[in-house]
Structure 1
Amino acid sequence: MAAAMVWWPRFLMLLCLTCKTSTFYVPGVAPINFHQNDPVEIKAVKLTSSRTQLPYEYYSLPFCQPSKITYKAENLGEVLRGDRIVNTPFQVLMNSEKKCEVLCSQSSKPVTLTVEQSRLVAERITEDYYVHLIADNLPVATRLELYSNNRDGDDKKKEKDVQFEHGYRLGFTDVNKIYLHNHLSFILYYHREDMEEDQEHTYRVVRFEVIPQSIRLEDLKTDEKSPCILPEGTNSSPQEIDPTKENQLYFTYSVHWEESDIKWASRWDTYLTMSDVQIHWFSIINSVVVVFFLSGILSMIIIRTLRKDIANYNKEDDIEDTMEESGWKLVHGDVFRPPQYPMILSSLLGSGIQLFCMILIVIFVAMLGMLSPSSRGALMTTACFLFMFMGVFGGFSAGRLYRTLKGHRWKKGAFCTATLYPGVVFGICFVLNCFIWGKHSSGAVPFPTMVALLCMWFGISLPLVYLGYYFGFRKQPYDNPVRTNQIPRQIPEQRWYMNRFVGILMAGILPFGAMFIELFFIFSAIWENQFYYLFGFLFLVFIILVVSCSQISIVMVYFQLCAEDYRWWWRNFLVSGGSAFYVLVYAIFYFVNKLDIVEFIPSLLYFGYTALMVLSFWLLTGTIGFYAAYMFVRKIYAAVKID
């Protein structure tokens, strides 16, 4: 709990900075000014791999350690992400070059890795692990220079495309041999601040790059004058790691500084255009335009059809009372009949309202730049706290709906609302966390953090849900425009296309199409350790998702009532969340085609967290569609004359 509260003073500082600057990316701390030869601390964050999805602490491998290891106080989001920020022995001074420095070596003696350590390092290299370091809150990046043919078709002329990779590779394999990157060439870029003539120059770090190299022990020369001398050109061999025996090697690094025109406010721009994350602006805009177009056509059709139905029904009442009713008017005496399991339905819808409020606020705040990737862990911390506090709105909506559905046990309903969805989430996460614990990964939530989350659940969310449920249950229930008959009418046999699963398939296409492109970026950020920053487009896509879910839900409930099937409560909730089925299909496609996961536990983690994502998305879209359909049904039955 103490670690989680670190975010609040950071948020207040963030608000102050927002008032004083006009920049878009506002990190969690103020800019730091350095003078010549001031120390620039290099910290380690974690080791990650898209193949295993299991992060590890930096010192889980036998890297050189400083005399005293100090871990940074992390917020809740950083803990849940598996970040374990710790100091390193790298000695870097502002604008001070270092050609070659040896780490953890006494009297120029090499480091000896035991057989067990060698086997662990070799295993991490074959699992394609990356090392993540930060300097002045900037993550390290590896520059990749890719060459492509000239646009004119001339193969002799190659165009250089510079991209960046998040972190640096721990090592590489070649012909069944494993090599370790034991030398790091740090390249730090600084921006010189304008100062008056009599004042000392100040510098700000604006980029942090690294060139990892593998240099064999015998090729690193050492003497009394210099700690180490790097081999020139290609006159060296890489440092091999043999997992079957002890290995001797040096851990070395060099530091190079370059002046840059990039200002501090724009220093994150480089990191937000890394490697595989290519912004398909045209595709996103195209998807939004298509969804708007289809939504407009859908709205025109349903409005014109409804006007015609209402006009005919009212005309029939005026001309001839003996005419037989047909269509959706025929079920007016049963359309508001309470469904089965009203407590569970209202509880799920209450959790959906809780999710909706949380997601809307998080995306909006992130769109303003307050939760950018530079504020590490703030997004997840904010989401956790907001979900707890939004319990009052979820409880209120669930309580009022439960009373509308003729429910009486409001205390049990409130408890169900506060525990049903969060309990499923906690149960799945606890099981997955046990497997992560078994792997000794930093992604495992520590026991004190788990206790803190339970305290937040039962100390904040549960009382707020009870409070909202109490006032919602006491409030006047929703006013339905027609009375419900005592005896339910018989439902005719339904056509094949009115099947529930067919409805889910039809209803999920349009909302999924609205978010398909954005889903790729979200999955890349979650599973491939990329930065996500398109919150402006995400907010637009979220609005389109709400509109499309509402319209599809209205169309589906209209077809169902026209087929004289009044059991629309549960069916509409399930069908409106049909896009979650397509999200599940896309997640399976992404797993097979984009990821290289073959082991059991990483696969279990992927599908476990994917199940939580699909469940949450189903609750969200199902709730949006349900309330849209409920308002629609009340509106149309209030517009016709019924005796």
Structure 2
Amino acid sequence: MERCLRLLLLLLGSGLGSAFYLPGLAPVSFCEEQKVKDNCKSQIELLVNRLDSAESVLPYEYDAFDFCKDENERHPSENLGQVLFGERIASSPYKFTFNKNETCQKVCQKTYDPKSGVSALDFIKKGIQLNYQHHWIIDNMPVTWCYYFEDGQKYCSPGFPVGCTITADGRVKDACVINSEFNKKDTIYLFNHVDIIITYHSGKDENWDGARLVAARLEPKSYKHTGDKAIKCEGPPMEIPKDLTSKFQITYSYSVIFQENDTIKWASRWDYILESMQHTNIQWFSIMNSLVIVLFLSGMVAMIMLRTLHKDIARYNQIDSSEDAQEEFGWKLVHGDIFRPPMKGMLLSVFLGQGTQIFIMTFITLFLACLGFLSPANRGALMTCAVVLWVLLGTPAGYVSARMYKTFGGERWKSNVLLTALLCPGIIFADFFVMNVILLAKGSSAAIPFGTLVAILAMWFGISVPLTFLGAYFGFKERAIEHPVRTNQIPRQIPTQSFFTKPFPGIIMGGILPFGCIFIQLFFILNSIWITTGGGGPS
């Protein structure tokens, strides 16, 4: 029987090993137009995401700007995480056929006149001045703009700017450094042309049909196109006038080139993006340095406490007379007040319950992210996972809060359960709602639709709150935590404290160093996990 079970597990393992893909990461095969099959398509679709900027906190949808739009615009299904992050992915008029190179293809032409086109053109100019970035997607992979710094270091950004500016004093800003033709003072240039290079793995000597895309790069350019039909991608750059006094036209175009590269595996196609971003690498030296500092401080505090207790115990053992025995000192002065219930026992128990819920949620989310289940290719999966885990972890929050409140001797158990379920989430949701109203008023794509807010409320009150009540039920059924030392009925009078021992200075001095160490660690770790979109161009 045991040998049969082993054989069955081996067969299942081999079958899963050859057919298992992480969620959202299944590869897509492409072939030439005359070789299309059921599992191999020829049309490559370019999707557009929101535009954002490091100089502004407000992201905008692609449709908020007057760019070329798809006549039959589609919005791929979005999960909860994408909606909360404000990602608005839509189809675009940029359509490619696999392995078919195209040069200087016209996409659309926009016309602005002084009567009706001023506002749309001004919005584009404002986006250029704030260095807003396009974010395009091909085959669930960001289209990157790669350039070199002065020291020869290559950087690949998963976004490219709408345009660039030259200030009135002749200072070159943002991406205008890439072309010496951008030299007019007090001028705004628009990138209305892109050269796209799509790299693919041909699939030779592999067990799949067709080719798979492994990289998508582009280079933004600016051309002042002339003519309505036949256009040439050459000539002076596209300048946007400061004041619109006559009819003004902008023609958008693109060129696409396909390149074969069988050395890059499909599973590692994100590597060139992550490796070029130095700030996304986990700084192990800094983390180890922080850990050593925390361990050293903890050990130092533990040694001080042990030495103090050891002196007290040695002094107790040296007592000779009964008069000395009646005099209390050291640990005996405070041992009867150590486990006295706190003045704000209700709030402390509520915060302990909510902290437990958030801690378990964070730990599981980071664990799944490290395993690769929350890959950047699966957009919005990280936030979706975090929200769902938080909702499902109401039981430990209610249990810890109720158990601690019972230990403190509390009797208002109904208030405890309600505060555990509603206090912290209510504050966060109220803040979230106010910011969402502001984003709606500004027309930002980060604003959450009303239906999503209702869905979040339904998850909160329909799942999290009942689970919190369930956890609190089991918590109150348990016995209170027994203290190793009996508490005195009369509290000991606290002597006058110096400035350094008062609560606020003590919190600052005692907490700033551990907080700094933990912040350094989490900054590098979370930055490496969350980095799916990057900053702008060179400046």
Superposed pair shares fold, TM > 0.5: yes
Task: Report how far residue 122 of structure 1 moved.
Answer: 0.8
Q: Is the 8 A contact 1:95 1:257 kept in 2?
A: yes
Local SS of the residue matching 1:362 = helix
In structure 1, distance between residues paired with 2:32 and 2:512: 59
Q: 2:24 is matched with which residue: 25, 28, 39? A: 28
Which residue is equivalent to 2:233? 230
Q: Does 1:180 align with 2:182?
A: no
Partner of 1:346: 349
On the 8 A contact 2:224/2:237 being kept in 1, the answer is: yes
Q: Which residue of 2 aligns with 1:50?
A: 54
Task: Work out whether 1:388 is the aligned partner of 2:387.
Answer: no
Equivalences, count: 492
1:264 correspondence with 2:266: yes
Opposite residue 376 of structure 1, the aligned amino acid is: R
Work out the CA distance in 1 between the residues paired with 2:65 and 2:243.
14
Q: Supply the distance in 2 between the matched residues of 1:373 and 1:308 (Cα, whole angstroms).
A: 56
Q: How big is the shift at 1:275?
A: 4.8
Is 1:168–2:156 an aligned residue pair? Answer: no
> Would the alpha carbon gap of residues 385 and 318 (structure 1) be closer, same or farther in structure 2, given more than 3 Å must change?
farther
**Hey, what does 2:7 align to over in structure 1?**
none
SS of 2:447's equivalent in the other structure is coil
Which stretch of structure 1 is more off in the superposition, 507-516 or 310-319? 310-319
Whether 1:194 and 2:198 are equivalent positions in the alignment is no
Structure 2 matches for 1:182-581, cutoff 5 A? Answer: 182-195=192-205, 202-218=210-226, 227-231=230-234, 235-242=235-242, 244-245=244-245, 246-260=247-261, 261-275=263-277, 277=279, 279=281, 280-310=283-313, 312-313=315-316, 316=319, 322-518=325-521, 520-521=523-524, 530-531=531-532
Secondary structure class of the residue paired with 1:55? strand
Say if 2:28 and 2:212, in contact at 8 Å, map to a contact too: yes
Paired with 1:391 and 1:18, the residues of 2 have a C-alpha distance of 37
Please tell me whether the aligned partners of residues 195 and 201 of structure 1 are also in contact (alpha carbons under 8 angstroms): no
Question: What one-letter code is carried by the residue in structure 1 that aligns with 2:198?
Answer: L
Residues 1:210 and 1:123: Cα distance change in structure 2 (over 3 Å): same
2:3 corresponds in structure 1 to none
Equivalent in the alignment of 1:147: 150
Distance 2:67 2:394 in 1: 45
Q: 2: distance between equivalents of 1:257 and 1:302?
A: 68
Secondary structure at the aligned position of 2:97 is classed as coil
Residues 243-282 of structure 1 deviation map (CA, whole Å, 9 limit, x = unaligned): 5355201111111112222111111112223456263443
Mark the runs of 5 or more structure 2 residues left unpaired by the alignment. Answer: 1-12, 34-41, 167-184
Shift of 1:354: 1.0
Q: For residues 446 and 105 of structure 2, what CA distance do their matches in structure 1 show?
A: 32
Task: Give 1:495 deviation, angstroms.
Answer: 2.7
Residues 1:70 and 2:66 are matched in the alignment: no
What percentage of residue pairs aligned between the two structures are identical?
Answer: 42
Structure 2 residue identity aligned to 1:129: Y
Q: How does 1:124-143 map to 2 (within 5 A)?
A: 124-143=127-146
Q: 1:444 to 1:200 in 2, by over 3 A?
A: closer
**1:87-106 alignment, distance < 5 Å:** 87-104=91-108
Q: 1:65-117: CA deviations, max 9, x gaps?
A: 22211111111110011101110011112222111211135xxxx64472121
Distance in 2, matches of 1:138 and 1:277, equals 20
8 Å CA contact 2:145–2:157 kept in 1: the answer is yes
Superposition deviation, residue 40 in structure 1: 1.3
Whether the 8 Å CA contact 2:339–2:487 is kept in 1: the answer is: yes
Change (3 A) 1:34 1:334: same
Name whichever of 431-440 and 504-513 sits farther off.
Answer: 504-513
SS at match of 2:373: coil
Does structure 1 residue 119 correspond to structure 2 residue 122?
yes
Aligned counterparts of 2:162 and 2:218: Cα–Cα separation in 1:
12
Kindly indicate whether the alpha-carbon contact (under 8 Å) linking 2:200 and 2:214 is maintained by their aligned counterparts in 1.
Answer: yes
SS of equivalent residue, structure 1 residue 428: helix
- Give the distance between the partners of 2:236 and 2:130, measured in 1 at CA: 25
For 1:367-399, what per-residue CA distance to the aligned partner results, in whole angstroms no more than 9, with x for missing partners?
Answer: 112112222111111111111111110110000
Check the 8 A contact 1:525/1:531 in 2, yes or no: no
- Evaluate the alpha carbon distance shift between residue 341 and residue 295 of structure 1 in structure 2; reply closer, same or farther with a 3 A threshold: closer
Change in Cα spacing, 1:374 to 1:350, as seen in structure 2 (3 Å) is same
Distance 1:293 1:335, change over 3 A: closer
Q: Distance in 2 between matches of 1:496 and 1:375?
A: 52
Equivalent residue letter for 1:259: E
In 2, the alpha carbon distance for the partners of 1:132 and 1:321 equals 78
Q: Which runs of 4+ in 1 moved over 6 A?
A: 317-321, 522-526
- Any idea what SS the aligned residue of 1:34 has? coil
Q: CA deviation at 1:322?
A: 2.3
Q: 1:520 to 1:336 in 2, by over 3 A?
A: closer
How far 1:296 sits from its partner (Å)?
Answer: 3.7
1:26 touches 1:374 (CA, 8 Å); kept in 2? Answer: no
| SS in structure 2 at match of 1:451 | helix
Whether the aligned pair in 2 keeps the contact of 1:111 and 1:248 (CA below 8 Å) is: yes
Specify whether residues 134 and 325 from structure 1 end up closer, same or farther in structure 2 by C-alpha distance, changes over 3 A only. same
Helix, strand or coil at the partner of 1:88: strand
3-state SS of paired residue (1:228): coil
Instruction: Identify, as 1 or 2, the structure richer in helix.
Output: 1
Listed one character per residue, the Cα deviations across residues 34-88 of structure 1 (whole Å, up to 9, x for unaligned) are 1124111110111111211111111111111222111111111100111011100
TM-score, normalised on structure 1? Answer: 0.71
CA contact 2:280–2:527 (8 Å) conserved in 1? no
Moved more, 458-467 or 483-492: 483-492
Letter in 2 for 1:263: K
Cα distance between partner residues in 2 of 1:56 and 1:42: 18
Inter-partner Cα distance in structure 1 for 2:73 and 2:112: 21
Deviation at 1:239, TM superposition (A): 3.6
Superposed CA offset, 1:555-584 (max 9, x none): xxxxxxxxxxxxxxxxxxxxxxxxxxxxxx
Shift of 1:300: 3.9
Q: TM-score, normalization: structure 2?
A: 0.84
Deviation at residue 525 of structure 1 after TM alignment: 7.9
1-side partners of 2:17 and 2:320: how far apart?
66
**What SS does structure 1 have at the residue aligned with 2:56?**
coil
Q: Deviations over 1:418-468 (max 9, x none)?
A: 111111101111111111011111101110000111111111111111111
Task: Give the secondary-structure state (helix, strand or coil) at the position aligned to 2:44.
Answer: coil
* 3-state SS in 2 of match to 1:163: strand
Q: What amino acid sits opposite 1:55 in the alignment?
A: P
Measured after TM superposition, the shift of residue 350 of structure 1 is: 1.0
User: What's the CA shift for 1:184?
Assistant: 1.2
Distance 2:440 2:134 in 1: 21
Following the alignment from structure 1 to structure 2, what is the Cα–Cα distance between the partners of residues 247 and 268? 40
**Matched AA of 1:29:** L
